[in-house]
Structure 1
Amino acid sequence: MKHTARRPDVVVVGAGGSGAVLAALLSEDPGRSVLVLEAGPAPRHLPGFPAGLLDARLVPGAQPGHTAVQPWAVRLTPRHPYTVARGRFLGGSTTVNGGYFVRARREDFDRWSAAGGPAWSYDRVLPFLRSMETDLDHGADDLHGGSGPVRIRRSRLGHPAAAAFRAAARQLGFPEEPDKNAQGAPGFGAVPSNSVDGLRLNTGVSHLLAALGRPNLMVNGDSPVRRVVVERGRATGVVVEHDGRRTTVRAGEVVVCAGAFASPHLLHLSGIGPRRELQRLGIPVVHDAPAVGSRFGDHPQVVMEWMPRRPMPAPTGSWLGGALHLSSSDGEHPGDLEILQSLVPMAGLVGGRVSVPGAPLAFLVSVQTPRTSGRLRTRSADPATPPSIDYGYLGTADDRRRLREAVRAAATLVTTGAFDEVSLGLAHPGQDVWNDDGLLDRWIDGRLGTSHHTCGTVPMGPAGDPGAAVDGYGRVHGVRGLRVADTSILPTAPLRGPAATAVLIGALVADAMRRDLP
């Protein structure tokens, strides 16, 4: 195995929603050298991004076999295999997702600060949230930023289907929520997005491309990391593969930003994880960390399609329409049910087309209650063998009840007089199914999906807590010089999609590193 002569101060593993941000911010310090190792392609200029990755009317992650996507075989329930997508390109999943950029709720930060310390409280993170954005709708004020690298614009509600959704929500008495990044009461509103004028501005574009001219920053694409090298309790580098050859890159510090599946898998392969499971696989144990991969959370989702009454125009700027957040009947987590509108037919999202004449349009209906029912297990010491990933969805009566409530709420919206202006009704199923819990559960089982919001595989918490793997700044307990900085460190998934929070994690951890916070 070849060893390189380079010794950057920091190696960042992964240039996704968190890694690209962290690397760009660290490299603002000219005295700190930063090397980014991205598993997928890493173009140095905007023309290097295929047009389909920048078109905000498409969702590349929904397209089976897309070259910028890494598929992961999972089980949503014991009897429901599924394939989930993660970005494998500069910008990571922010390059292939829907451009949804909604902040976590204050309640989320209350939970996270209880685990990661006061730096995670809403009041402490708000300056980071403001500094990382340019809000094109609100401009700079007490809540929004006006000069950050991520440009934010809310989805327009002028499309006939979006206008009908808004009118239907109003008819049913749901409040307006004009700014979903302002911590107001949950309701109907436009979706804050990092897609502007039809362009999806992933973190590779917003953060790294402008920083590539710095002499202290290097970004290497097509360079998957296979193992973190740990010597005498300290991370000293990584083993990276490029063009079929493996090389050891030495570094002063290693930050793993590979995503909520790849990060725990890489830690396991590096000997950081549950001792007995690693020993069974023949992986030398570096540090017994039972929390790595032991649990995770995500949001179960069902697609509900409806038939337009007349041909609908194709969206011009984004596939996103409006979004309604409402509360499940237990009232424990306000706004934990989401009905998200697609202005592109599912057949178009899957097929990479904006317009599909005659096809139904859809609502993406999900339960975003914080739950950690999943588990990730490494099956082999060979990095090419993917881990076993079980979501554990719908394992309790409450899980099923919440998803039934969300589905019924969407069905009720479609039946309003206001929505009837554009709709002939749901494509499936019939009223008899909506009225019967057992029939509805079976219908949901056959259509169950996920929101791709995985969090918690390397959870933060205090040292000595067997349920925690890192501290609030991503430092791995028991291994010096090693951090994790992506959504895997969030103990629970937020009540909203985590893309904005992934960027926050990169910013917060980079700030801690630059200030050498204890």
Structure 2
Amino acid sequence: MSRPDVVVVGAGGSGAPLAARLSEDPDRDVLLLEAGPVPRRQRDFGAELLDARLVPGARSGHPAVRPYAVHLTPRRPYTVVRGRFLGGSTTVNGGYFVRARRADFDRWAAAGGAAWSYERVLPLLRSLETDLDHGADETHGGEGPVRIRRGDLRHPAARAFRSGARELGYPEEPDKNAEGAPGFGPVPSNSVDGIRVNTGIGYLLGALDRPNLTVSGGSSVTRVVVERGRATGVVVERDGCRTTVECGEVVLCAGAFGSAQLLRLSGIGPGAELARLGIPVAVDSPAVGARFGDHPQLVLEWLPRRELPAPAGSWLGGCLHLSASDGEHEGDLEILQSLVPMAGLTAGTVTVPGAPLAFLASVQSPRLGGRLRTLSADATAPPRIDYGYLATGEDRRRLREVARATAALVATEAFAKVSRGLVEPGPEVLADDRLLDGWIEARLGTAQHTCGTVPMGPADDPEAGVDHYGRVHGVTGLRVADTSILPTPPSRGPAATAVLIGELVADAMRRGLP
């Protein structure tokens, strides 16, 4: 493909769907560039990346991920990872595929217009999925590339979790993709029959024989070429050699860190900051990397009374959503159950005899506290990434609430049938705000749900980097189509939303929407 119409950078949660949908038009030549490997058959992904009981992204040294050194707080260094493989992070994540809430779409529509309203995106949400539990109806899809199934909750720990939630009076939420009241229920997942079906498998493997689609692995984009206000191509490094690929349009789907960093390296970002690094400024766009949001997370482990069976199909157990005491955001606290010990998730094994099991407790309020800064014009130099967690009293209060709610669940009579109690924190720490704050800061993690580094909004808004269809303000022929463009993070994990973004932007491009 000598001069493609569109170059898509990144074959992950958004890029794979976008490239697949664009290439359904036989008159549009599409080149998809992926930094990691690109298998041509499902079995070539290997057992580790397919087994839904494993989470390769929990292993910072796994060859299918790219690590980023970050600071969750000024005193809390951490390592987060992103997928570097066909399918991106959908190849290495937990298979959680829960839609954003209507309130999220309301917030996004306030910035991006009616195209982002729940009513307008629902047809796309339906078209991207095959819901194996509900089939095609007014809410669910029956013919899309992403197969969805909910966990059966038959594992003894999952049954005890459900009973404990009932004991505390939490409502049932049997379908977390139906916009019902938050409560306890199974997790919709793109893992089916024990296999994690990432977007590379779901969208691309069946499209690789299209003559107008080229998918190139081992291809790292280092810069977008911008000439006289137009993106004319990308600089690609492959096997140690750099070449320039010219094209009609560039779409960045490199993830919330990768896309923002690429824009900055290409001269699109805060002008004074880039000029100090010797990067020629193409567009002074202060919004790029200025803020981002994510979900702070804690791991609370508990000791089983007896050896429990390994999960049969997925590491995921039940999931409870409840609201923080301020009531500002409905269902913004999440307690997610792991049926594999944390020691197993981090080691790549399903069972660890004698090890505790865990709940992942997170705060999913739509807060923006992070910042990304480019430190060098060298594309190989990583950016500085600060999450800004625990910056406010509300941040700490919500984390205390979700930690105490998790402890209360473990302490129920129903859950005590399988559990001997929490490993930590103990009753003294749980009862004291100051002690609990200290425990939280020392063990703080992140759900790795980064969004908002290049938020959408009107061209005259200095806090917006792109428009409602991902077009970069100030540059023709350049879009961003991944979770970078969300003005706030969703109040659920963003995997399903990332796929939606690929679908939405591809639809806009194919129909020439203004």
TM-score by length of 2: 1.00
SS of alignment partner, residue 210 of structure 1: coil
Within the candidate set 324, 333, 338, 1:337 is matched to 333
The offset of 1:142, in angstroms, is 0.4
In 1, Cα distance between the equivalents of 2:392 and 2:135?
44
SS of alignment partner, residue 178 of structure 2: coil
The aligned residue for residue 138 of structure 1 is 134
The offset of 1:44, in angstroms, is 1.2
State whether structure 2 residue 61 is matched by structure 1 residue 65: yes
In 2, Cα distance between the equivalents of 1:403 and 1:428?
15
The aligned residue for residue 213 of structure 2 is 217
The residue type paired with residue 268 of structure 2 is: I
The offset of 1:43, in angstroms, is 1.1
State whether structure 2 residue 389 is matched by structure 1 residue 412: no
The residue type paired with residue 387 of structure 1 is: P
The residue type paired with residue 90 of structure 2 is: T
Indicate if the aligned counterparts of 2:68 and 2:79 stay in contact, CA closer than 8 A. yes
The 5-angstrom pairing of residues 270-285 of structure 1 reads 270-285=266-281
The offset of 1:387, in angstroms, is 0.1
TM-superposition CA deviations, 1:58-91 (whole Å, max 9, x none): 0000013100000000000000000001000000
Within the candidate set 475, 486, 510, 1:490 is matched to 486
Within the candidate set 243, 252, 256, 2:252 is matched to 256
Within the candidate set 291, 294, 298, 1:295 is matched to 291
The offset of 1:335, in angstroms, is 0.1
State whether structure 2 residue 337 is matched by structure 1 residue 316: no
Within the candidate set 176, 185, 188, 1:180 is matched to 176
State whether structure 2 residue 18 is matched by structure 1 residue 43: no
In 2, Cα distance between the equivalents of 1:330 and 1:110?
20
- Calculate the aligned-residue CA RMSD, in Å: 0.5
SS of alignment partner, residue 20 of structure 1: helix
Within the candidate set 164, 173, 179, 2:160 is matched to 164
State whether structure 2 residue 388 is matched by structure 1 residue 392: yes
The aligned residue for residue 328 of structure 1 is 324
Indicate if the aligned counterparts of 2:190 and 2:198 stay in contact, CA closer than 8 A. yes
The residue type paired with residue 217 of structure 1 is: L
Within the candidate set 102, 109, 113, 1:113 is matched to 109
TM-superposition CA deviations, 1:283-302 (whole Å, max 9, x none): 00000000000000000000
In 2, Cα distance between the equivalents of 1:289 and 1:41?
33
Within the candidate set 73, 94, 97, 1:98 is matched to 94
Within the candidate set 299, 303, 306, 1:307 is matched to 303
In 1, Cα distance between the equivalents of 2:485 and 2:163?
39
The offset of 1:47, in angstroms, is 2.1
The residue type paired with residue 83 of structure 2 is: G
In 1, Cα distance between the equivalents of 2:60 and 2:111?
37
Within the candidate set 59, 71, 92, 1:75 is matched to 71
SS of alignment partner, residue 203 of structure 2: helix
Within the candidate set 16, 21, 32, 1:20 is matched to 16
The aligned residue for residue 197 of structure 1 is 193
The 5-angstrom pairing of residues 402-481 of structure 1 reads 402-481=398-477
The aligned residue for residue 366 of structure 1 is 362
TM-superposition CA deviations, 1:416-465 (whole Å, max 9, x none): 00000000000112100000000000001111000000000000000110
The aligned residue for residue 143 of structure 2 is 147
The offset of 1:481, in angstroms, is 0.2
In 1, Cα distance between the equivalents of 2:459 and 2:296?
31
The offset of 1:156, in angstroms, is 1.6
Indicate if the aligned counterparts of 2:361 and 2:406 stay in contact, CA closer than 8 A. yes
The residue type paired with residue 466 of structure 1 is: P
TM-superposition CA deviations, 1:291-319 (whole Å, max 9, x none): 00000000000000000001010001000
TM-score by length of 1: 0.99
Q: Which runs of 5+ in 2 are unaligned?
A: none
In 2, Cα distance between the equivalents of 1:64 and 1:270?
28
In 2, Cα distance between the equivalents of 1:479 and 1:312?
57
TM-superposition CA deviations, 1:96-146 (whole Å, max 9, x none): 000000000000000000101100000000000000000000000000000
State whether structure 2 residue 124 is matched by structure 1 residue 128: yes
The offset of 1:506, in angstroms, is 0.2
In 2, Cα distance between the equivalents of 1:24 and 1:189?
32
The residue type paired with residue 85 of structure 1 is: V
SS of alignment partner, residue 484 of structure 2: helix
In 2, Cα distance between the equivalents of 1:64 and 1:457?
23
In 2, Cα distance between the equivalents of 1:491 and 1:383?
26
The residue type paired with residue 318 of structure 1 is: S
The residue type paired with residue 64 of structure 2 is: A
The residue type paired with residue 279 of structure 2 is: I
The residue type paired with residue 332 of structure 1 is: E
The residue type paired with residue 331 of structure 2 is: G
Runs of 4+ with deviation above 2 angstroms: none
State whether structure 2 residue 18 is matched by structure 1 residue 6: no
The offset of 1:496, in angstroms, is 0.1
SS of alignment partner, residue 249 of structure 1: strand
In 2, Cα distance between the equivalents of 1:228 and 1:6?
17
In 2, Cα distance between the equivalents of 1:102 and 1:55?
19
The residue type paired with residue 237 of structure 1 is: G
SS of alignment partner, residue 201 of structure 2: helix
SS of alignment partner, residue 236 of structure 1: strand
In 2, Cα distance between the equivalents of 1:79 and 1:353?
31
Within the candidate set 374, 379, 395, 1:383 is matched to 379
The aligned residue for residue 87 of structure 1 is 83
